């Protein structure tokens, strides 16, 4: 038996969906504007997870999609030798470009197919394969005509033809949520269990009032009766000061030994009601009583620790890929790296023990594909150190950044002055805070650097204090500024993302052929 500590996947791993194929479990989460999109993780025991691939690489055009747009709420299922992922692509600037889609693969590591777009509005699609060989799509959308309350939604169900690759037959609206007046009855998942159809859905919005509700029916198209215990799982009654808030968006899976489990999302506030690590993935046990699932039996909330009876004790490196325990040099091909609207291997190339990061005109404030490689912040206290070679021309910068979006981030930039005021052996380090699209300089200092020197760019987070600084080789970090992390999370900024920390470079909109040389990047979380 192994005890796993929640969250199962710390950092921004929202909207988890899970399925089992034989002895293997597969899990996928939302990634929004980051690429590769929809990472696939595999486990043999629900405890130790490894990256095996990603669903979306180059099948969808991300150009112009703003932060907190992109890929929402995937569902992963397996049927007759094929993996299916259904998902929503959201473009807030152009509704015609987004929509719900289906992709398939025979190997979860890929390649995955081109998307098949579904002719249905809304979000959070899911798919059920029934015992009679049929497939049923379902999802959620706002009630358009005379809703009974603001943001009332409805869950729809419709048959999907695998041969014709389209929705067929009549549509059935089966659910509006367990609580009258509850907003966003969303993230629906259907299951066929012992001849009964179960609907697990979220409601209350993916914030503080998030919850899980359950309904059942004798036919996939309904009518569905709600569980009298609904919502069957929520933390909203525990207040803002509890260790985990926003529990919801659950997906169930039966283990090989016949036990049942659920994954769901939640947030861990710290430094006040702020959750910089974003919406994370949690694991909890499930039992069945009187024909209904009981989530977290005997506790009624997501536990800090979960005993998994069939899991072996993990080794010292187990789960490192999922948990972000980055020691030493992290090459650009590591699956933990992500790019903004661009694949990491299109942004950087290996170079000896390090890698090259070609400078791009795009800045971190542009809705573009900047030269930025980042990893999820997965620890409250963390040190990220990027060692770079200072060899860029005047007007170009290399740095580290704590990113929420193009409108909200903190960045350190190191470079020569564009007007040539700094000499070749004195560069300028500047910390800029972009908040709500408004730029503020938090600190600036001259740094003794000779062209070609290795320089360590440092982000040290201690709770909600993010110190950004420079180490030019003495071993002492020259602190440039400290940013308030409470201005960066989604409570302060809106959107759906946790924070990413990474290395970046820019020519500030000017065409360039320069390259920033990255010797190493380390992530040390406490």
Tens-digit pLDDT profile for residues 159-183: 999 999 999 999 999 999 999 998 9
Query: In this structure, what are the phi and psi dihedrals at residue 491, rounded to the nearest 5 degrees?
Result: -60, -40
Report d(CA 117, CA 109) in Å as an integer: 22
Report d(CA 28, CA 189) in Å as an integer: 14
Q: Are 364 and 410 in contact (CB under 8 A)?
A: no
pLDDT at 121: 94
pLDDT at 426: 82
More confident residue, 278 or 3: 278
> Percentage of the chain surpassing pLDDT 90?
85
- Band the pLDDT of 2: cuts 50, 70, 90: confident
Q: Are 167 and 86 in contact (CB under 8 A)?
A: no
Partners of residue 62 on adjacent β-strands: none
pLDDT at 1: 67
User: Is 438 annotated in the active site?
Assistant: no
Q: Supply the pTM of this predicted model.
A: 0.95
Q: Are 500 and 384 in contact (CB under 8 A)?
A: no
Radius of gyration of the chain (CA): 24
More confident residue, 320 or 218: 218
Cα separation values, 141 from 74, 152, 173, Å = 15, 9, 10
- Examine the pLDDT at 298 and tell me if it is beyond 80: yes
Q: Are 57 and 90 in contact (CB under 8 A)?
A: no
Report d(CA 8, CA 283) in Å as an integer: 6
Smallest CA-to-CA distance from 250 within 237, 233, 269, 235 is with: 233
Q: Tell me which of 15, 280, 396, 489 is the catalytic residue.
A: 15
Q: Are 266 and 287 in contact (CB under 8 A)?
A: no
pLDDT at 332: 72
More confident residue, 383 or 335: 383
Weakest mean pLDDT among 12-21, 95-104, 423-432, 516-525: 423-432
User: Is 186 annotated in the active site?
Assistant: yes
Q: Are 359 and 516 in contact (CB under 8 A)?
A: yes
Q: Which domains does the chain have, with CATH numbers?
A: 2-323 (2.115.10.20), 338-525 (2.60.120.200)
pLDDT at 318: 40
Burial class (CB in 10 A: 0-12, 13-18, 19+), 307: exposed
Q: Tell me which of 45, 186, 383, 489 is the catalytic residue.
A: 186
pLDDT at 329: 54
- Band the pLDDT of 314: cuts 50, 70, 90: low
- Examine the pLDDT at 38 and tell me if it is beyond 70: yes
Report d(CA 68, CA 494) in Å as an integer: 9
Burial class (CB in 10 A: 0-12, 13-18, 19+), 257: exposed
Residue identified by tokens 């950092």 is 11
For residues 233-257, average pLDDT: 97
């Amino acid at each position: 038996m192994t005890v796993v500590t929640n969250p199962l996947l710390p950092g921004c791993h929202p909207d988890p969906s899970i399925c089992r194929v034989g002895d293997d479990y597969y899990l996928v989460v939302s990634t929004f504007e980051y690429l590769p999109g929809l990472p696939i993780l595999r486990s043999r025991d629900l405890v130790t997870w490894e990256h095996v691939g990603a669903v979306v690489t180059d099948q969808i055009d991300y150009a112009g999609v703003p932060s907190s747009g992109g890929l929402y709420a995937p569902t992963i299922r397996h049927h007759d030798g094929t993996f299916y992922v259904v998902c929503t692509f959201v473009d807030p600037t152009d509704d015609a470009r987004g929509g719900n889609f289906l992709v398939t693969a025979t190997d979860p590591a890929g390649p995955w197919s081109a998307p098949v777009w579904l002719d249905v509005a809304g979000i959070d699609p899911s798919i059920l394969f029934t015992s009679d060989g049929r497939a049923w799509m379902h999802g959620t959308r706002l009630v358009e005509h005379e809703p009974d309350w603001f943001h009332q939604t409805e869950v729809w169900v419709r048959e999907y033809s695998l041969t014709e690759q389209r929705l067929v037959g009549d549509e059935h609206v089966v659910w509006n949520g367990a609580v009258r007046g509850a907003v966003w009855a969303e993230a629906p998942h259907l299951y066929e269990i012992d001849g009964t159809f179960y609907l697990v859905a979220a409601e209350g919005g993916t914030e503080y009032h998030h919850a899980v509700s359950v309904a059942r029916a004798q036919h996939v198209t309904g009518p569905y009766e709600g569980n009298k215990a609904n919502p069957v799982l929520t933390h909203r009654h525990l207040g803002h000061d509890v260790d985990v808030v926003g529990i919801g968006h659950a997906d169930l899976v039966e283990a090989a030994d016949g036990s049942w489990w659920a994954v769901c999302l939640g947030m861990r506030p710290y430094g006040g009601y702020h959750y910089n690590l974003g919406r994370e993935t949690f694991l909890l046990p499930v039992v069945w009583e009187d024909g209904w699932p009981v989530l977290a039996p005997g506790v009624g909330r997501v536990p800090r620790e979960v005993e998994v009876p069939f899991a072996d004790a993990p080794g010292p490196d187990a789960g490192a890929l999922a948990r972000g325990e980055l020691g030493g040099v992290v090459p650009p091909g590591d699956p933990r790296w992500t790019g903004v609207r661009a694949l990491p291997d299109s942004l950087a190339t290996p170079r000896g023990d390090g890698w090259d990061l070609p400078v791009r005109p795009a800045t971190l404030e542009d809705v573009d594909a900047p030269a930025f490689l980042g990893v999820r912040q997965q620890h409250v206290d963390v040190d990220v150190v990027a060692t770079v070679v200072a060899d860029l021309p005047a007007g170009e910068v290399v740095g580290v950044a704590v990113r929420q979006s193009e409108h909200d981030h903190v960045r350190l930039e190191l470079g020569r002055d564009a007007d040539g005021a700094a000499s070749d052996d004195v560069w300028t380090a500047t910390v800029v805070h972009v908040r709500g699209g408004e730029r503020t300089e938090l600190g600036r200092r001259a740094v003794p650097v000779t062209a070609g020197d290795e320089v360590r760019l440092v982000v040290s987070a201690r709770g909600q204090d993010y110190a950004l600084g420079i180490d030019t080789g003495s071993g002492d970090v020259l602190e440039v500024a400290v940013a308030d992390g409470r201005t960066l999370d989604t409570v302060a900024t809106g959107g759906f993302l946790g924070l990413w920390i990474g290395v970046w470079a820019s020519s500030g909109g000017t065409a360039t052929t320069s390259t920033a040389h990255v010797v190493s990047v380390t992530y040390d979380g406490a």
